[in-house]
Chain A
Amino acid sequence: MSDRNEIPVDPHVAVVATATGVIDGDLTTADGRPLKKALQSANAVRRRRAFYLVAPLLVFILVTFIFPIGQMLHRSFYNEGFTVHEDVTTGVRTPIMTDLTAWFEAHPRGTEPDEAAFVALRNGIAQLDELKAAGSAGTRINYIRSGSRSMFTKAGRKWDKMEPPYKEAFLELDEEWGDPELWSAMRSASHSYTLDFYLAAVDLARDVEGQVVAVDVKRQVYVKLFIRTLILSVLITFLTFILAYPIAHLLATLPLRYSNLLMIFVLLPFWTSLLVRTTSWMVLLQSQGVVNDALVATGLLSDENRLQMMYNQIGTVVAMTHILLPFMVLPLYSVMRPIDPSYVRAARSLGATSWTAFRRIYFPQTVPGIGAGALLVFILAVGYYITPALVGGADGQLISNLIAFHMQKSLNWSLAAALASILLAGVLVLYWLYDKLVGIDNLKLG
């Protein structure tokens, strides 16, 4: 019975059914078919047609959004750099380092590598040299222990001149081959599935015994950056709110012809390239820029004490607040426009001062817009990349700049994916929190 209630009832079918009456507790149509079935087939055509209409978008989203995000998430805990080699041209996949993986499986973590381990290592490197993959396998180890890549390429060149016992031969080649950290790294990398990248993304690592420990204080960057991103995003969201609220109110209360004109000014930045907008802030804010020049010219500032407003956090905050402002104005405007002025008038006539009327009557009605705008601006700010990259300098960088760094420079895509996944999870948690506190159905985007 319950699922029948959930099916949207077609009134025409329902009329026929009640006319026929209830037979054995199940409703039927005039020709005796069960009502549920009749309803389903009646709705099937409509549902199919609706599906065809949204199908192109669905495919588009699947291909360009869901699939890449899935891939990214997958990459953050799956890396086969030390387990499988894939030939770029032929696509042939060859398992690598199989002997060493077998040795790792046979011996628990912390076991001193014996001759058998080094034999397995030599076999592996011989295979890598054949596949010309010593570098890429070394890179995978290098993610965990820096300086490892060159050891692999060197060994790749010299393995055929090695004589048993191989342990001594390797140590002769490079003493570092005996480093427990290296072996710990190789052990971790011998599994394609690993959480190491998430550990690295929150400044943690595995020590030789496999215990999770914090990395060296000097190398702790990500947590600090996550926190900075969070704080700056909150600040930017707050600033856009402070600036956008009066603008949106003005837009909502002006006659339409004026408010349309003003709305164009609000939207104007949208029609300008992001780069142009950001660089114009550079022109304004740099130490030889317009603002500093004006302050010096008016004598408010001496020439030696020019303000540093660019290539630091101030630059990031100012430029991003400006760029994200429309995303706050528009949702606010859309909730303010339909608020009838008679509400405030009623409050005033009932004895409220204009401040009380605003606080008790007007403001609560704009909360859904504030929520929507804040959520929008905050989520955009948390993932912002170009502006902080251009104007942020060293301490105005956000987490997204580091993600980009790992994607483009260090080519540690798995770490980039892990950082991005943490960011995504954080945003989803916030979204969930918003739903709990305000209710997502209260969200008004426009």
Chain B
Amino acid sequence: MTIDNSNDGFVVFDHVQKSYDGETLVVKDLNLSIGKGEFLTMLGPSGSGKTTCLMMLAGFETATHGEILLGGKPINDIPPHKRGIGMVFQNYALFPHMTVGENLSFPLEVRGISKSEREAKVQRALEMVQMGDFITRRPAQLSGGQQQRIALARALVFEPGLVLMDEPLGALDKQLREQMQFEITRLAHELGITTVYVTHDQTEALTMSDRVAVFDDGRIQQLAPPAVLYEEPENSFVAQFIGENNTLVGEVVEMKEDCCVVRLEDGEVFDAKPVNVHKVGDKTKVSIRPERVEYNKDRIPEGAHTLQAEVLEFIYMGDIFRTRLRVAGKDDFIVKTRNAPDQVRLKPGEKIEIGWLPRDCRALDA
């Protein structure tokens, strides 16, 4: 399911700003265009403005400046109930005094849909989330995962063009969360609904989304498909926030064509891919993914930069080994290796040689 990112602009944030107290901006100049049928995730730490953006889109907050368009029409002055946007809340927000059936029937009732049609739609929506037998239950009688399914069905039952989800899986345990991740993406794609999904869980963002918008400090730091985001972070915040990351602090000493030379504080010099360093003398944080570093002599690729390291910790994690090393004076350098039959198992205190390719080394802003 590939999405054309040419952006027909089903949802558009146009220079949107938001302030609650008139002194600080929670959202600073947001520009975002979401295509029809796209699954877009807003990812970021708490307080980064992602939920505020969602609430502005839903109509529960008003933008201090700028315009939000839905299907080409500005919706700043349209009240929430006329926007026709389905929403799934973090705490599910199932109405406790109504049965599951009444909960699902509610959006249809307020739209004046006839009883027989309502019943059919409710039944279809429940079956969609495999909860057909639960129509007469009350929310309190359901488990967290079941409540989540009902909340999802309720947000979809009136066939909205856009569904918003505010950390919907935050309260579930890991296994259930993974299952629901799969189901939500499946439903979203099957029904062709545009989805805006807010989370602070980067795994969730990577596995579910067509595109991810990484929020920090009220701005989108990077907007890209998951693979690009992970492999080609554009700045050190994104590199740090998405996945595990090793950061080496240094200075650019030479700029070459699509390559730069970095010198670390302890004098180590190596090649890196310049991402947002521009000239000699720029401070830089070099980002290297733990799984792109090798210590097995047979596996270190040709053209790799090699250097000495000391093993501090070796953690057996089943499918992978996680090794903490002292590299270039830093003792939080992580290497992840696959648990293969021929893989070397290290002991703390061992002196080893590690190596990485310059293309996996991204020289980012400091």
Across the interface, do B87 and A365 meet the contact criterion of CB distance under 8 Å?
no
Q: A347 near B91 (CB under 8 angstroms)? A: no
Q: Out of B81, B154, B155, name the residue touching A348 (CB < 8 Å).
A: B81
Contact A349 B158 (CB under 8 A): no
Q: B80 an interface residue at 8 Å Cβ cutoff?
A: yes
Taking CB atoms, residues of chain A closer than 8 Å to B84 are 351
- Tell yes or no: A107 within 8 A of B by CB: no
Q: Which residue of B lies closest to A361 (CB)?
A: B95
Which residues of the other chain, B, contact A40 by a CB distance below 8 angstroms? Answer: none
The answer to whether A340 and B91 touch (CB under 8 A), given A345-B80, A349-B58, A352-B81, is yes
Contact with A along B71-90 (1 / 0, CB 8 A): 00000000111111111011
Q: Which residue of A lies closest to B102 (CB)?
A: A360
A342 and B93 contact, CB distance less than 8 A: yes
Of the residues A343, A349, A353, A356, contact of B95 by C-beta under 8 Å: A343
Given A345-B80, A348-B80, A360 contacting B106 (CB threshold 8 A): yes
Q: Is B110 an interface residue (CB 8 A)?
A: yes
B93 touches A340 (CB 8 A): yes
Closest to B111 in A: A351
Interchain CB contact under 8 A, A346 and B87: yes
**Contact check: which of B80, B90, B91, B96 meets A349 at CB < 8 Å?**
B80
Q: In the bound complex, do residue A350 and residue B110 qualify as a contact, i.e. CB atoms below 8 Å apart?
A: yes
Asked whether B97 is an interface residue with its Cβ less than 8 Å from the other chain, the reply is yes
Q: How does the 8 Å CB contact mask read for B48-60 relative to A, with 1 for contact and 0 for none?
A: 0000000000111
Minimal beta-carbon separation of A254 from chain B (angstroms): 15
Cβ of A370 to closest chain B Cβ, rounded Å: 13
B161 at the interface (CB under 8 A from A): no
Distance A356 CA – B109 CA, assembled complex (angstroms): 11
Which residues of A sit under 8 angstroms from B96, Cβ to Cβ?
Answer: 365
> What's the nearest-Cβ distance from chain A to residue B3, in Å?
25
Residues 325-361 of chain A, each 1 if its beta carbon lies under 8 Å from chain B, else 0:
0000000000000001011011111111110110011
Point out the residues of chain B lying under 8 angstroms from A351, CB to CB.
81-82, 84, 107, 110-111, 158
A364-B97 contact in complex given A346-B89, A350-B107, C-beta closer than 8 Å: yes
- Bound state CA distance, A106 and B107, in angstroms? 81
A357 CB contacts on chain B under 8 angstroms: 81
Tell me, in angstroms, the Cα distance from A351 to B83 when the chains sit together.
Answer: 8
Give every chain B residue within 8 A of A347 (Cβ-Cβ): 95, 106
Q: What CA separation (Å) do A345 and B59 show in the bound complex?
A: 9
Chain B nearest Cβ from A345, distance in angstroms: 6
Max chain A Cβ within 10 angstroms of own Cβ: one of B83, B91, B107, B110: B110
Chain A residues positioned under 8 Å from B91 (CB to CB): 340, 342
Contact with B along A306-319 (1 / 0, CB 8 A): 00000000000000
Q: How far is the CA of A347 from the CA of B155 in the complex (A)?
A: 10
B111 contacts across to A, CB distance below 8 A: 351
A205 to chain B, nearest CB (A): 51
Give B280 Cβ to nearest chain A Cβ, in Å: 53
Contact A343 B93, CB 8 Å, known A350-B110, A350-B158: yes
| 148-166 of chain B: CB within 8 A of chain A | 154-155, 158, 164
Chain A residues with CB under 8 Å of B158's CB are 350-351
Cβ–Cβ < 8 Å partners of B81 in chain A: 348-354, 357
Q: Report which of A342, A349, A360 forms a contact with B85, defined as CB distance below 8 A.
A: A349
**A350 vs B113: C-alpha distance in the bound complex, in angstroms?**
13
Bound Cα distance from A168 to B314, whole angstroms:
123
Q: Least Cβ distance of A256 to chain B in Å?
A: 17
Bound Cα distance from A352 to B110, whole angstroms: 6
- Chain A nearest CB from B78 CB (Å) reads 12
Q: Are B97 and A350 in contact (CB under 8 A)?
A: no
State A342–B88 Cα separation when bound (angstroms).
Answer: 10
| Given A356-B110, A365-B97, also A350-B154 (CB < 8 A) | yes
Residues of B within 8 A of A352 (CB): 81, 106-107, 110
Task: Chain B residues near A360: list those with CB within 8 A.
Answer: 106
Q: Encode B32-61 as 1/0 by CB contact (under 8 A) with A.
A: 000000000000000000000000001110
What is the minimal beta-carbon distance from A257 to any residue of chain B, in angstroms? Answer: 15
Q: Which residues on the B side are within 8 Å of A342 (C-beta)?
A: 89-91, 93
Q: Return B85 CB to nearest CB of chain A, in Å.
A: 6
Assembled-state Cα–Cα distance A251/B144 (Å): 30
Give complex CA distance A342, B106 in Å. 15
Complexed CA–CA distance, A347 and B97 (Å): 13
Complex: A349 Cα to B157 Cα, angstroms: 12
Q: Report A-chain residues with C-beta under 8 Å of the C-beta of B107.
A: 350-352
Convert B302-316 into 0s and 1s, putting 1 for each residue whose CB lies closer than 8 angstroms to a CB of A: 000000000000000
Taking CB atoms, residues of chain B closer than 8 Å to A361 are: 95
Rounded to whole angstroms, the CA-CA distance of A109 and B273 in the bound complex is 120
Interface residue ranges of A249-308 to B (CB < 8 Å): none
Known: A347-B106, A351-B107, A353-B79. 10 other contacts (CB 8 A): A342-B93, A345-B89, A346-B95, A348-B80, A348-B81, A349-B58, A349-B164, A350-B154, A351-B82, A354-B79
Closest 7 CB pairs of A and B: A350-B107, A346-B93, A349-B87, A342-B93, A348-B80, A342-B89, A352-B110
Q: List 29 A-B contacts (CB under 8 A).
A: A340-B91, A340-B93, A342-B89, A342-B90, A342-B91, A343-B93, A343-B95, A345-B93, A346-B93, A346-B154, A347-B95, A347-B106, A348-B60, A348-B81, A349-B87, A349-B155, A350-B86, A350-B87, A350-B106, A350-B155, A350-B158, A351-B81, A351-B158, A352-B110, A354-B81, A356-B110, A361-B95, A365-B96, A365-B97
